[in-house]
Structure 1
Amino acid sequence: MRVRSVSFSVLICLALCGPVALYLAERAGAAVPLWLTSEDANYLSGSEESANVAAVATLEGFETKAFQAAVETEVSAHVPAKASALLATAAWQRGAITASNVLFGWECYPTFYDSGIVDIPSESRLAEIAKKADEDITACARRVAAGMDALGREFPDRRFFVYLSPDTLNVSGTPTEGLVSNPLTYEGIQALFEEQDGAFQMIDGDVGYGDFKGQWFSTDHHWNNAGAYAAYCRIASALGFGDELLKPEGEVVYDEPAFYGALARQGLVTGYSDRIADYAFRDFPNLTVSINGNAASEEDVVHREMYAEGGWDANRYANRYAEYYHGDKGLIEFGNPDAPTDAELLIVTDSNSNSMERWLVAHYRTTYALDPRHASVTVGDFLEKHDGVTDVVFIMREANLLYETTEEALALS
């Protein structure tokens, strides 16, 4: 009994001392392996890396529990090998779920208990569980659609388009439809928008699940290179450039680094991964770029040189989609001096356009990519200040299109 008690006490002491030892080692500048730190875990869980404990080490901080929260965050950020523990726990839970599924034969099932991500083993891919078409999301869709209709009426000299990017939540035929009652489908969202009189045009972006599997990453909610190009073709054709579409002459596929997308990170699955790819075009125009008003370059929006030189993030769970293309920005302005027209395009977007906006740029003298999640200006105010804009295209997935930031961006000036 004494040996057992001593052993248990030693384990408890090691567990308590681990965060302290790791904290001191990092502060001393020691070279600590990434797998031992919580950097991997922060990528996987989306948690904060650290907190400023000293700033809230006051009586007020203690009373409001800000101090306790900061200490908890700091301790959590220094739990040794936290990522390995997260992955191991999810793996044994997934093993139990897989074993129990022998009795039921579901095509897909959660990656761990209470996970919102499901594993589709027969396809070696992951998916998000479909949403319910409840009253709140239906009402939000109607408000956003009404806002777009009102915006189109306020600026009758501009053309307005909406391209809803499908994902595993709503694409036609997704296996997760059968996991919930009354799922929110792509067709259902389109129907809600088409209730409006039509001061904007919906561009159909839906694809069958069979095509979807080849055009979206297997571990991420974004489209891959093929899907981005297919979306570009649909959007550019709707804008009137069907006879002038860019034609790829080759594709570059980066065997390294492996891309563990958002679904893999959230689902704590490392058995599947993707690869980043990009198309090459002959006679692609030379573009000018500015980001949030600061001069930039094409390399800042597509990091070809960095990838060719192997300069990617060493963390295996880094967001390769944002890393290769670009992270989300409030406003990117593209200039195309070789454009055959003076027309200007405004793309109101989320991260889905990051991989293909430069292709639409080829058809306009100036193109703006505005992300309402990172910009404070409304679309109406922006159009008032940029009277050269002739076309406006909303390119978003449902999670951001039907969201408060989009509603705020649609507020009329």
Structure 2
Amino acid sequence: MNQNWRAIIIRRVILIVLVSSLVGMVTGYYAWSLLAGLSIYLFWNLRQLLRLHEWLKTQQGDEAPPVGYGLWGEVFDSIYHLQRRDQRVRGRLQAVIDRVQESTTALKDAVVMLDSDGNLDWWNIAAETLLGLKTPQDSGQPITNLVRDPRFKEYFDGENYAEPLDLPSPVNDRRRLQFHITQYGNREHLMLVRDVTRLHQLEQMRKDFVANVSHELRTPLTVISGYLETLLDNVDAINPRWLRALQQMQQQGGRMQNLLNDLLLLAKLEATDYPSDNAPVTIDLMLLSIKNDAQALSAERHHRITLEADPHLKLKGSEAELRSAFSNLVFNAVKYTPDEGEIHIRWWGDERGAHMEVKDTGLGIEAKHLPRLTERFYRVDSSRASNTGGTGLGLAIVKHVLLRHRGTLDISSTQGKGSTFTCHFPSAQMVRRNQ
């Protein structure tokens, strides 16, 4: 209310008081005249207020407010202008929403909006094609009731959406989908689903090619290695000039055998999502056996290898695969730790799950190499591989074994001080020995 209206109200009240006083002077009833004048003014204001209340209660759509006079006319006009401004704002917002919906409708990727409980709010046409959603009957349904894969429910409930999830389509098993989920607002979810069938097929072709080539190379490599071994067993009967060449060929043949074995193991790990022999494994005894093997590998290098393992904690999974992963980590520590260095192996559990750690006092690794250590054939230093006979596939095997057991690998390292490799497994994989 501006200053003019305040002055007008004050003048009207003064005018009513003067008129009432004049009437009271004529009639001789000053108090009753003043009371009657103020009552009439109050009744008129209450009537305008009731008209406003009735309009607010019964208005539908964009119905204009009632017509008024004086101050109330100004109030009704202000409400009318606010109403029109709100209509313009809503119109602009609706236009933006319409453009967004039109653009998402044109996308080939599915866009799904979920509330904080994971119930369907809105989706585009591509979601009906890729996920089989139906309008309007699926509105308000939990997304986990429509995408029933257990891995999706575990991924959605875990609320760790840093990495996407690849799953077969619930509509067509031959179609492969990639799920990206982002939380926004009041814990609501925006889910993007992309058809990655072609990429999956190309990746599968690559895996099949590597597996087939590795398998086919085993036979000729075995024959070559066999003849080399025979020749070296009869070294006295051959020209001494060939001795060094034969020894180098046998050494390189052994490296190729190790490489093919690792490639075939990776192909086997990638063939399925979960190990078939999923049973409780006694990790403390396994690590004790690996420690003894590592001590033998160390031999005259005199590493101090210690083991700290919880004897009551088991891990569900494949014993062969877990042994392969853990031994890779321990044997790597032996290879890259200087003579008389320390290597500590630890196995324990807590409220977050089970953990296996290998800590050494080796050469350490630069921080820039850490994110790529689990890539196939990635070398921190090519001279290291040639000196130790590594294939560059050890940590890739560890990564795939952990993925099959729902685990993750954390790597921390400081140059000149050593490295720590820690395997984390969720609580669902833990089994207490007294159970």
- TM-score, normalised to structure 1's length? 0.23
- TM-score, normalised to structure 2's length? 0.22
Structure ranking higher on relative contact order (CA contacts 8 Å, 6+ apart): 1
Larger radius of gyration: 2
